[in-house]
A = this chain, B = another copy of it.
Amino acid sequence: MAVDLRDPLRSVLGSILDEVRDRTDGEVASYIPELAKADPRALGIALASTHGVVHEAGDSAVEFTIQSVSKPFVFALALDALGLEEVTRHVGLEPSGEPFNAISLDEASGRPLNPMINAGAIVTSSLIPGDTADEKFARIRAGLQAFAGRELDVDEAVFASEAATGDRNRALAYLTRSAGTLASTAEIATTAYFRQCSLTVTARDLAIMAATLATGGVNPVTGERVVGEDAARWTTAVMTSCGMYDASGDWLVRVGLPAKSGVGGGIVALQPGQFGIGTFSPPLDARGNSVRGVAMLEALSSQSGLHLLRHRGDPLSPIASLAHEGDDLVAVLRGEIAFAGAEELLTRLAPLVGEQGCLVLDFTAVTRVARGAAGVLRALPELAGTDTDGRPRIVLRDPEGVLEG
């Protein structure tokens, strides 16, 4: 029987579950009677890689309502449909330093401060194309399904509860309507928003949804492009600065993963280019964040060194070897070459470009070249020109085309 090499990952997730399992602080959300029925002991986590593999532990297949975790994904859909300039005419990008249900309209513009607080999320939902609440919601649902890679249901009991108790959200809708920033009637916006919040997901779904942002907009499981790369990056940026309400700054310092929580007990987090995570545990802290979800992400970030702003240690030089092949000098390059690597290449190789002979840059073992760096490197042959014999001073060897696009 083959050893399962993936055990290490399962064991990481499992040990994190074990670490938080016995915490009993926090309260299941009760402002809606339906939410209060959630099992406080439910506990799950899932991690989806940008290659489309999903690792899970615990109650990662239990369904719960997505609630505010929907906000960044619907924001991404709005950005994708309308662009950053049009969207920011309606909602800002600044952290509010205030709780989720804060009013927080910018005085001058009437815009909600950001799309992660309720007022901004309602405006975001109103921006989704569609003339009726049904049309808007159909588009939102289709978008969230594409993020998750499967069909999502509405929990009609929760929806009915949200609609029955949602006066504060209606107030926020009317307020933005009167400020000129809501893009539909208040009734249409809140109905679409309440339905959006009532969609049910699992921790596994959230992991895939987050991973879709982490890939720059392509669902790594289905391969479908859900939103453009710009929309994914802008959304990730807003999650970074505003995703955890009035604790966003602290979260960025201590955990360092763009994230968003919901009162249903779910949290998503991600690292661009790496992975998406979904967690599920209903009891919430005073700020409305899942107590054990927060604890799992803190543990994961700290134990596995996933902080977005962590310095990863000095990489080896991108120049693996330098050797003469006949008259040519061949530099074998390796690894990922971003801005810093390109800069090192140029600095170290500059003295080697001579009167005669050719410098060959071999990119065969290079796995990725950052966009800005690629442009600079592609321009080198023309820049170096030819030697006295008319031969090119620099030649690029790039069999896998890592310098393209």
**Complex contacts, A312 vs chain B, CB 8 Å:** 272-273, 336, 338, 368, 370-371
Copies per complex? 4
Q: How far is the CB of A9 from chain B (nearest CB, A)?
A: 6
On whether the beta carbons of B365 and A334 are closer than 8 Å, the reply is yes
The answer to whether A383 has its CB under 8 Å from any CB of chain B is yes
- Contact pick for A252, options B3, B9, B241, B339, CB 8 Å: B241
Stretch at the interface among A22-30, A64-72, A140-148, A168-176: A168-176
Q: How far is the CB of A366 from chain B (nearest CB, A)?
A: 7
The answer to whether A33 has its CB under 8 Å from any CB of chain B is no
**Complex contacts, A304 vs chain B, CB 8 Å:** 339, 371-373, 375
Q: Which of A113, A309, A338 has the most CB of B within 10 A?
A: A309
Q: How far is the CB of A100 from chain B (nearest CB, A)?
A: 14
The answer to whether A94 has its CB under 8 Å from any CB of chain B is yes
**Complex contacts, A236 vs chain B, CB 8 Å:** 309
On whether the beta carbons of A336 and B339 are closer than 8 Å, the reply is no
Given contacts A96-B97, A167-B186, A171-B171, contact A248 B240 (CB under 8 A): no
Binary CB contact string for chain A from 169 to 201 against chain B (1 if under 8 A, 0 otherwise): 011111101110000001000000000000000
Among all A-B residue pairs, the 5 with the closest Cβ atoms: A304-B372, A335-B367, A216-B311, A171-B174, A168-B178
Show 5 A/B contacts (Cβ-Cβ < 8 Å), sorted by A.
A8-B379, A92-B249, A167-B178, A236-B309, A318-B367
